[in-house]
A = this chain, B = another copy of it.
Amino acid sequence: MIIVLKPSATEEDIAHIVDRVTGVGLSPFVKRGTERTIIGVVGDERLLASVPVSAFSGVETALPILSPYKLVSREFKQEDTVIDVEGVVIGGNRLVVMAGPCSVETSDSLLSVAEHVKAAGARILRGGAFKPRTSPYAFQGLGMEGLEYLSRAKEKTGLPIITEVMDPRDIPTMVKHADILQIGARNMQNFRLLSEVGTCSKPVMLKRGLSATIKEFLLSAEYILAAGNHRVILCERGIRTFETATRNTLDLSAVPVLKSLSHLPVIVDPSHAVGKTALVAPMAKAAVAAGADGLMIEVHENPEEALCDGEQALLPKALTALMSELRQIAHAVGRDL
């Protein structure tokens, strides 16, 4: 940490800061410049995490030098994390497509769409049993019944299941049905839920919050790793900006940024980012070109009748067509699909 002092800082201020820094076990050094005096701190500045240095008398700003996360960082672990989900490898050279309906509706419709997306080349089945909805009056998911349907679809198709968990109390049941637990964007900073899935034996896909910086996103992932679960997948799904032409703004530069800062795999969800069917395919292709390790795409056989997010669902045949384009782009960037 570099502590920049105000021009008005006194010798007492300096002595006091040096004292406090030394007190937490770090080594400060003082450098007096022509316009500002600075105090540098050598050592693991995370020890200062709970010290409000910028509130100290004489301090103008305190600039951290190290990233506040550790276990998720490339520095901590240089090689890419590769996660094996029932034989489907995420984070390796071959990309993975997770597809399926926004929410599980009936056992039959789920099975039918599962077979379609499998035929198209998707290797993981998505489907929400518990749905976080902005309005209390919107369809909230089938709950436990939906989990049963997902298990049945897995049995028939062999596709591993990813589904969202919203409440720590549901976890014991969910881990019996899901192969990947998804934490949604709105729960990215539901720290209790993060800690709880951190003690699970199942991999977790963590979606970026609507207004989460990349640093906050990685800190939320750190919660899960710090609790013991190192099988975490990051998912960029659009951030909130002033633009209203799309549901959110897909931040594709987050893909190479996350890949450089962290060893965790990065998936992109273009469906929720754009919110409109016609924009899903171009953004899916762009995500692969940008270096994503995979995609999560909403597919529905009859979007008009979908109980949730029909506006952004692809028809199964559109997924099939998209897959062949994605494969060519994957090859162009040295990957497989």
Chain A residues engaging chain B, CB cutoff 8 angstroms:
2, 4, 7, 20, 29, 31, 33-36, 38, 40, 42-44, 46, 49-52, 54-56, 63, 65-66, 68-69, 75, 132-140, 166-169, 186-187, 189-192, 195, 209-211, 213-216, 219, 222-223, 226-227, 239-246, 249-257, 260, 273-274, 276-279, 282-283, 285-291, 303-304, 306-311, 313, 325, 328-329, 331-333
Contact = CB atoms under 8 A, between A and B. Distances in A.
A33 B38 contact: no
Contacts of A287: 286
Contacts of A310: 51-52, 55
B328 A50 contact: no
A329 B289 contact: yes
Contacts of A137: 46, 49, 68, 226
A49 B279 contact: no
A213 to B, nearest CB: 6
A328 B329 CA distance: 7
Contact of A43 (B33, B226, B242, B251): B33
Contact of A223 (B51, B63, B136, B311): B136
B333 A285 contact: yes
B219 A136 contact: yes
Given A50-B308, A134-B216, A308-B50, A253 B239 contact: no
B134 A219 contact: yes
A246 B252 CA distance: 11
A136 B69 CA distance: 9
Contacts of A136: 191, 195, 219, 222-223, 226-227
User: Among A49, A56, A191, which residue has the most Cβ atoms of chain B within 10 A?
Assistant: A191
